[in-house]
Amino acid sequence: MKTKRGFTLIELMVVITIIAMLMGLLMPALSSSMATARAKKDATNLRGMGQGLASFAADFNGDYMIPGEVWRSSINTPSGPVYSWGQGDPNFFLNNTADLNSGMVAMRYFVTNQIISPCEVNYDVGVKGEIAENGQIQGYNFDAYNPSEGVYWAQPSTPGGIRANLTNPGDKKSHVSYTNQTLMGDRLRSKWHSTSGSDSTLFALRGTEDGAMRDVEDGSGEWTRSPVHDFMGPSGAYMSNIIWGDNSITTETNFFPSNSRYEPRLGGYSNGIKKDHIFQCEFTGSTDDDGNPSNFLAGDNYLSYSYLAGDEGFPNLLVTFDELKD
């Protein structure tokens, strides 16, 4: 009677070695395929956000969401102060990343998981209602929407609001992956409107601190140790999908996309259009309340991840950046 012979130790080692070699060959391809899938999903998110802006514009005379022009102050009537859409003084301090996204979510033009990129690398940035804030999970508060009382969305300072501030003391949790066109000055009319075109940036993944393209001092890390180099593509090199005003999407590997160009400004260049750094406020524009031309009030493409924006007469912008890698 024949007995079944098992594998010898050498045969098992040979099989394990072959499997390990195959995995070594397949893993880079699998990793590349997964990165490609994440990049495609990121583009899908951006396209959905562009469609959300277009839907908002279709409902509101071609205007994209400008938080400070939606959430206005009350107006006085014979029966007392009331809130009325499009009436009252605008509050331009609301034109920041958190309030923009919170307003779009509250009015159902965005959804919370859409504004988080599958390419996100910062563990402090996650979907509202899925990432703990101050130790607790808190979903978006849709019940905050109450226009008759002058409340249009849950603000970032409340438990149910969208947050976009990576420098919060103690708890740096945020719910947005994308920078947005800075809602200030000339760009409010020329870049942030349904009539904007393929040269107007709407959203992209975050850039380096102040748009740095090198370390200010040796080893300071503004460029070399920025986590934003790990979003897409090879590690250590910035890559991002960008959605433009015509709802087209391009994949860019630097801060000077070919679509983004500078239009001549007061005291600016006299020799035509220049390439535009999308994470720097570069070109002199309208004058502020003191009559001085201000870069913040210009019309160049300037994407920021902001937690405070100033009004059109008092340009003031506070932005937040990812912490540098250790």
3-state secondary structure 295-326: CCCCCCCCEECEEEECCCCCCCEEECCCCCCC
Task: Find the distance separating the first CA and the last CA of the chain, reported in whole Å.
Answer: 67
Q: Average the pLDDT over 241-267 and give the result.
A: 85
- Asked if the model's pLDDT at residue 313 lies above 60, the reply is yes
Q: What is the mean pLDDT of residues 314-320?
A: 86
What does the alpha-carbon distance between residue 326 and residue 318 come to, in Å, rounded to a whole number?
24
Domain regions of the chain by residue span? 39-319
Looking at residue 172, its pLDDT comes to 86
Place of tokens 């994949």: 251
Give the 3-state secondary structure of residue 34: helix
Instruction: Give me the pLDDT at residue 152, please.
Output: 95
* Contact predicate 281/207, CB 8 Å: no
Tally of CB atoms within 10 A around 135: 6
What pLDDT, in 10s, does the model give residues 280-308?
A: 998 888 888 888 888 888 888 999 999 98
pLDDT digits (tens, 9 = 90+) for 18-63: 888 877 766 665 556 677 788 999 999 999 999 999 999 999 989 9
Query: For the segment 187-237, what is each residue's pLDDT rounded down to a tens digit?
Result: 888 899 999 989 999 999 999 999 999 998 888 889 999 999 999 877 788
Backbone phi, psi, residue 250, to 5°: -120, 155
Spatial distance between the Cα atoms of 24 and 275, rounded to a whole number of angstroms: 43
pLDDT tens track for 132-172: 998 889 999 999 999 989 999 999 988 899 999 998 877 88
- What's the number of CA atoms in the CB half-sphere (13 Å) around residue 104? 28
* Cβ partners under 8 Å of residue 253, min gap 6: 233, 237, 238, 239
Banded pLDDT at 1 (limits 50, 70, 90) = low
